[in-house]
Structure 1
Amino acid sequence: MNVKKIVLAGLFIALEVISTRFLSIQTPVLRIGFTFIPTALSACILGPLFAGITAGLADVIGMMLFPAEGAYFPGFTLSAFLAGAIYGLFFYKKPVRFWRVCLAVLIITIFVNLGLDTLWLWMLTGKGILGLLPARMMKSAIMFPIQVITIQVVWKSLAASLKHRLSFGGTN
């Protein structure tokens, strides 16, 4: 286990918890924020498995430190893990390409955010899926270009610097 990876994972967990709990707008069925940035960056640097674990741990730790209304629900931890892993599959050791960012964000938006997260909310709230979807779809439509542009700009601006400073000398 690489000490640098563990330290970076801890840093990304802290960034995800802070951005989720303090820098997001939260309603019972929507969260609007920039948690995707540390998740995507951890995927670029740590790879799919570590990014997934980091995102999942951030969800669990965030819930333990700052419990929201209701009990902990593991479905959202699975969603966080999958988002980190998907970003990792598209970004880790790959060139910065606009289509790659679009595809990763699209898959996460459709299958994780609109699919699984809506399912988890239905299970928790009992509200009909068709009642939950319109607001969630609108939020996703607004956030999609914001996520794509933000990830593209941040990844591109940090790619050269990260390549030299964070070489791990091994594989994931």
Structure 2
Amino acid sequence: MKRLATLFTQSYQEMKKLRTVTICGLMAAIAVALSAVASIEIGNYIKIGFSGIPNRMVDYLFGPVVGGCFGGALDIIKYLIKPTGMFFPGFTFDAILAGLIYGSFTYKKPLTLPRILTAKLVVVLVCNIFFNTLWISILYGKAFWALLPARLFKNAVMWPIDSAILFMISKALHTTGIFKSLSAAQ
């Protein structure tokens, strides 16, 4: 428990640095641009998007506190720029929670495939399957249990795909030295 408290304290300290805020701003711009142009739709329910990659990079570089704040702020910014459907604070809560989870799993740790798969699995189970299904149920008045099978299928398909994409991109960023230069910038 003490290690988790230290992790959150260190991440909170990251938030006070100007370079952190600057890099987060750049990552937010990249995420907004990617959400506008980069996604692959497979059928009616499966969508492979790349706009979440900058979020995961912020979680990795700056930890759960910065990642959670970044995720929540970016969710609102994306909605203001390109609203799709009605705004619901539950989805913003999910974005914050996902940043906290990813940041807790990856901050100051190597980005290995098992670590990414585990972090993504926790996010899928807690945020995507439980909370998102609950929010959709509340918003549209549909039964939680009726929505659950399709959401389980979608997330079971997307879990390894999203994890593999994040792993390959993070390895490429490590290889090119981008992570090292961003970490040295701190």
Report TM bin, short chain. 0.7 to 0.9
Secondary structure of the 2:183 match is coil
Residue equivalent to 2:9:
none
CA distance in 2, matches of 1:109, 1:25: 19
C-alpha distance in structure 2 between counterparts of 1:141 and 1:14, whole Å:
29
What letter corresponds to residue 156 of structure 1 in structure 2? Answer: K
Match of 2:63 in 1: 47
* Residue 167 (structure 1) shift: 2.6
Q: 2: distance between equivalents of 1:35 and 1:25?
A: 12
Contact 1:13–1:55 (8 Å) recurs in 2? no
Return the structure number with greater relative CO, CA threshold 8 A, min gap 6: 1
Aligned length: 167
The one-letter amino acid of 2:110's match is: P
Aligned-pair identity (%): 35
* 2:150 equivalent in structure 1: 135
Q: Equivalent residue for 1:157? A: 172
**Relative to structure 1, is the Cα distance of residues 21 and 99 closer, same or farther in structure 2, using a 3 angstrom cutoff?**
same
Provide, for residues 122-142 of structure 1, a one-character-per-residue CA deviation record: whole Å limited to 9, x for no partner: 111111112212221121111
Instruction: Indicate whether 1:147 and 2:162 are aligned.
Output: yes
Tell me if structure 2 keeps the 8 A contact 1:86–1:104.
yes
Correspondence 1:111 to 2:126: yes
Bigger drift between 125-134 and 8-17 goes to 8-17
Which structure 1 residue ranges, 4+ long, deviate > 4 Å from structure 2?
none
- Evaluate the alpha carbon distance shift between residue 61 and residue 15 of structure 1 in structure 2; reply closer, same or farther with a 3 A threshold: same
Partner of 2:101: 86
Give 1:3 shift. 1.7
Aligned-pair distance for 1:22?
4.4
User: TM-score, normalised on structure 2?
Assistant: 0.79
Provide the rounded CA distance (Å) in 2 between the counterparts of 1:127 and 1:17. 30
Which of 1, 7, 12 is the equivalent residue of 2:27? 12
